[in-house]
Chains A and B, each alone.
Chain A
Amino acid sequence: GAVVSQHPSWVICKSGTSVKIECRSLDFQATTMFWYRQFPKQSLMLMATSNEGSKATYEQGVEKDKFLINHASLTLSTLTVTSAHPEDSSFYICSARDLIGTSSYNEQFFGPGTRLTVL
């Protein structure tokens, strides 16, 4: 099946610093990748849709200047949490859809997630 990786798997940073998280599709190309945030014992909340070669589409309530998304190639999207604060501590998960999938439906493949802790 399609494989999506994330790096790093966990990160601890000081308040006020920026953290970059990478999401890669390893064996397929992805025009669109999605970034989710998941707080403990809660559901996955979509933050933004990352489109290769264009600006990301952010969900309502998500600050685009704080959560910078770059999708420079068909296999890589990055999420940068700028000026991180303790309330940004969460589990960040990306997903991707196979560009050449035979199905027109939105079967997404998830990365393993990145646990961010801001001190």
Chain B
Amino acid sequence: GENVEQHPSTLSVQEGDSAVIKCTYSDSASNYFPWYKQELGKRPQLIIDIRSNVGEKKDQRIAVTLNKTAKHFSLHITETQPEDSAVYFCAASRGGTASKLTFGTGTRLQVTL
């Protein structure tokens, strides 16, 4: 089955700096890669996703890059703000109606003033 690794497990940055979180996956058939933000005790919130036919996607301060050859994808957050502090999870899926998501281990991001 799919295995998703995520690094780092914790990340502390100063407000205004950039944050980068990296994930690798094992299943070459995976073609959908979402990123979720989860605050304590709450549901995961989709913040951005990328399909395998795209190498990069950007939404305001958030961007995701995908390297299918190397089987890795990354989340980039620029101009970080205190409200960006949360746990971020990457995930991978083969897509399709009943295809399941395999989550990474999570990164706890702390944005300090």
Q: How many residues of A contact B (CB 8 A)?
A: 24
Give chain A residues whose Cβ lies under 8 Å from the Cβ of B94.
106
Contact A106 B89 (CB under 8 A): no
A97 touches B34 (CB 8 A): no
Contact of A111 (CB < 8 Å), options: B34, B43, B96, B101: B43
Q: Pick the contact of A46 from B44, B100, B105 — CB < 8 Å?
A: B100
Are A44 and B103 in touch, CB under 8 angstroms? Answer: yes
A51 contacts B by Cβ under 8 Å = yes
* Interface residue from A45, A49, A107, A115 paired with B98 (Cβ < 8 Å): A49
Asked if A93 is at the interface of the complex by the 8 Å CB criterion, the answer is: yes
A43 touching B105 in the complex, CB below 8 Å, given contacts A105-B93, A107-B49, A110-B44: yes
What is the 8 Å Cβ interface bit string for chain A, positions 75-101, against chain B (1 contact, 0 not)? 000000000000000010101010000
A97 and B95 alpha carbons, distance in the complex (Å): 11
The prevalent SS among residues of A at the interface is: loop
In the bound complex, do residue A44 and residue B98 qualify as a contact, i.e. CB atoms below 8 Å apart?
no
Q: Which residues of B contact A107 (CB under 8 A)?
A: 32, 34, 46, 49
For residue A25, give the distance in angstroms from its CB to the closest CB of chain B. Answer: 14
Contacts of B44 in A (CB 8 A): 44, 93, 110
Interface residues, chain A, CB within 8 Å of chain B?
A: 31-32, 34, 42-46, 49, 51, 91, 93, 95, 97, 104-108, 110-113, 115
Besides A105-B95, A106-B101, A113-B42, 18 new A-B residue pairs in contact (Cβ under 8 A), listed by A number: A31-B97, A31-B98, A34-B101, A42-B105, A43-B104, A44-B89, A49-B98, A93-B43, A93-B44, A97-B97, A104-B97, A105-B32, A106-B94, A106-B95, A106-B96, A106-B97, A110-B45, A113-B43
